[in-house]
Amino acid sequence: MFVYRGSTALITGASKGLGKVFAQTLAARGMNLVLVARSAEALQALATDLAGRYGVESIALDADLGDPDAAQRIAQELERRGVQVDLLINNAGLGLTGSFLSHDLRKKQSEIQVNVHALTALSHVFGGGMAKRGSGGIINLASNASFQPLPYMATYAATKAFVLSFSEALQFELAGTGVHVMAACPGPTATSFFDGVSTNVSPKDMDSSDSVVQQTLKAFDQRKVVAYPGRTSVRAATWLSRLLPRALVVRIAAMASGKMGLHG
């Protein structure tokens, strides 16, 4: 089992939602923290609170993962401080809803930058150090959207399919090094993800952030490669793409998006 106490976790998107819950949960386990997000004030407040509450070291790094150089800048700052990352949680993500052509191209490119490029860069930068030391872990937040095309969240689902595929392949490559890689594929979760989005999904139909985090870390401790930290119905939905023709899968996914109110 991964040794949490005294180790250091880097969590992206740490100022709210799942990232914040990961930070709180790991601090309670005695982990030191590197918290990364754009919300400098909220991030520093969280870092100060967790350090005081649990007696851990907690560093707040204000960084925009939409910047192609963000991963290198984070690594350089941590090297300057002498901080070693033992667990990387690539939690930050963007998800634009509505038709693909309704969005400014730069926003779609930013979505890909954060969900794919930054995650890949951070995995490379910190995974390399873990492999050399012979220990460590990487948890990449994918989604139940990883398993099929999703009209009206086309780019988001495609980026999460990358995260799932990338994580499975990376774990195979790192087998035997002491570094464990896992993709977590939650379904709709009661976070700020849907803030500002016209959706018909009620919070009672979503999994709680605490439940998703606890199930994700349990799966990580069990050395699973893919985790499904959600209700059974969410897991069952991922089977459709393996059993049905893809054209039918796309139509079903489009109906689900429409029912959720994500089409516009």
Known catalytic residues are 156
DSSP category for residue 85: P
**Residue 36: strand pairing partners:** 12, 61
Please state the separation of Cα 154 from the chain's center in Å.
Answer: 18
Reported as type and span, the H/E element at residue 121 is helix 119-133
Q: Interior CA angle at 134 toward 130 and 139, to 5°?
A: 45
Phi-psi region of 235 (alpha: psi -120 to 50; beta: other; left: phi over 0): alpha
d(CA 39, CA 61) in angstroms, rounded, equals 9
3-state secondary structure of 198: coil
d(CA 139, CA 123) in angstroms, rounded, equals 9
d(CA 35, CA 84) in angstroms, rounded, equals 14
Scan for tokens 């930290």, then name that residue.
229
